[in-house]
Amino acid sequence: MRCRLASALMLGLVISGQLQAAEGALTQSASQAAVCSGCHALAPGASVPSLQGLDALTIEEQMLALRRADGQTAMHRLINAYDHAQIRGIAKVLAQNAFGQGERIP
């Protein structure tokens, strides 16, 4: 009995662990961050950088710098849609690679 209970508990833990991992990708920050990959590919382009492999703080700082800069690209406009808390949340999701986009690298 004890043995069965233990294995049942373990199974439960494994399941909830998996759910939790996936739920990071289901948050509001995740749905805001989901837009980014429409332009930012895994590999850097001729002019649009990749966001792969950057830590959350670096992404956050770069986004904040973009907001202060007076450049005139699309991203200089779009950045104004997000407040600091949203930027921090988006940076965290992108750094965690929450959507598992890494799998697309051949």
3, 68, 72, 85: residue in contact with another protein (rule CB under 8 A): 72
54 in contact with another protein (CB under 8 A): no
- Percent helix, strand, coil in the chain, to 5, is 70, 0, 30
35 vs 57, beta carbon nearer another protein: 35
22 in contact with another protein (CB under 8 A): yes
CA distance 106 to 104: 6
Q: Kindly state the smallest distance separating residue 70's Cβ from another protein, in Å.
A: 11
74 in contact with another protein (CB under 8 A): yes
- For residue 11, the 8-state DSSP code is H
